[in-house]
Chain A
């Protein structure tokens, strides 16, 4: 049976990058439809009427929304290759826990560093570093968060690394200096996984795009 897999995406979105990495890791052929966020397509509005956001995966006409939910879905449907979530319930719950932590304490807080000013921005910087250090502790000396192989938590976090440069520059601090293990892990991901190397956007291109929106 021929699967029809369409990804509704926006080039700069780290959430969309999670889905692309997961699809590539599983060797799934898909069509990427780039959305104009100022003029969303009828397919996007129909597929995600609640949030109207990307990414959305449309698999044989059925939409799946929210990036981590999409990655779980991909892992379950194409379960025979490159498993991302552990099968053991406890280990799986830990992976889901850390992915949720990344969403709330890294992505949401990182956005505040970029978009807030003054005291709110200072607080976001502090929270951001605290969050990264906790992740550094969780990574420890493992090759990946998933152990020897790329896992769900790696896929959840790695797209955010191409936004590090923007956050460091706007926030005036260095993630590499504070979290060397995370920094090495990020480089390892790009060097060792083609899915990641070809998906992550150039940090400088992202910074130029961000500065135009928020000079």
Chain B
């Protein structure tokens, strides 16, 4: 049996990297973790991701795969013999999962940054409103299901759950409670956290808060 080389190049706070960690752990794939300091990027990163020079990057048998959702889909297909399957087999349900993942990807991170990095109170308040709009839509989409993927973690769960580490930061800066506004979504997040793959992959929310606060100071210099 050929020994597989699987390396994840990441930065500890990245929610995008957490997606990949969860996917690898869910499939029980052994991998080597390489931390890349995104404030002092190495030439190694520009070799493995010459177009964007960003983390995460998955290296699989010397092939490089970039962009977190792309990587998660790749993991699903390259290890198709391992359960769980993240994307449904049916094309319509696949397209729906991809739609929601794309929605989260394009809107949530940018909106959330306005809460703590918005110029002026108006932008910060707008950031909070946008984040709540997105989370409420996701809560609606979840409905009565245990996970977006049904009985197990699926593509949409893996896309969204890493942002749970940032809820404390958003709530503290924005002075609001996500649990009050979206109780079912927070219940879903806690359910996800009971899974080893998720608990092992998400950074501590307080550590994230300290990082973002000190990042702010770096920005103000």
Contacts and interface: CB of A to CB of B under 8 A. Distances in A.
A122 interface: no
A150 B63 CA distance: 24
Interface in B58-115: 60, 63, 65-67, 70-71, 73-74, 77-78, 91-92, 94-95, 98-99, 102-103
Given A93-B65, A96-B70, A134-B51, A69 B77 contact: no
A66 interface: yes
A89 to B, nearest CB: 4
Contacts of A100: 67, 70
Contacts of B137: 50
A72 B95 contact: yes
A89 B78 contact: yes
Contacts of B77: 89, 92
Contact of B73 (A50, A62, A77, A96): A96
A21 to B, nearest CB: 18
B102 A69 contact: yes
Contacts of A93: 65, 70-71, 73-74
A209 interface: no
Nearest to A59: B92
Contacts of A62: 92
Contacts of A77: 91
A135 B109 CA distance: 27
A69 B93 CA distance: 11
Nearest to A101: B51
Contact of B99 (A59, A66, A97): A66
A127 to B, nearest CB: 13
Interface in B15-51: 51
Contacts of A59: 92
B219 to A, nearest CB: 21
A76 interface: yes
Interface SS of chain B: helix, strand, loop or mixed?
helix
Contacts of A73: 91-92, 94-95
Nearest to A100: B67
A72 B94 CA distance: 9
Given A93-B70, A96-B73, A64 B78 contact: no
Interface in A97-140: 97, 100-101, 134
Nearest to A65: B99
Contacts of B99: 64-66, 69
A90 interface: yes
Given A50-B103, A89-B77, A90-B78, A70 B95 contact: yes
Interface in A44-94: 50, 59, 62, 64-66, 69-70, 72-73, 76-77, 89-90, 92-93
A59 B91 CA distance: 11
A96 B68 CA distance: 12
A64 B67 CA distance: 23
A129 B66 CA distance: 22
A101 B94 CA distance: 21
A111 B95 CA distance: 26
A70 B98 CA distance: 10
A135 B102 CA distance: 23
Contacts of A76: 91, 94
Contacts of A89: 74, 77-78
Given A69-B98, A77-B91, 19 more contacts: A50-B103, A50-B137, A64-B99, A65-B99, A69-B95, A69-B99, A69-B102, A70-B95, A73-B91, A73-B95, A89-B77, A89-B78, A90-B65, A93-B70, A96-B67, A96-B70, A96-B73, A97-B66, A101-B51
8 contacts: A64-B99, A69-B99, A69-B102, A73-B94, A73-B95, A92-B77, A97-B51, A100-B70
A-B pairs, 5 with minimum CB distance: A89-B77, A76-B91, A93-B74, A73-B95, A89-B78
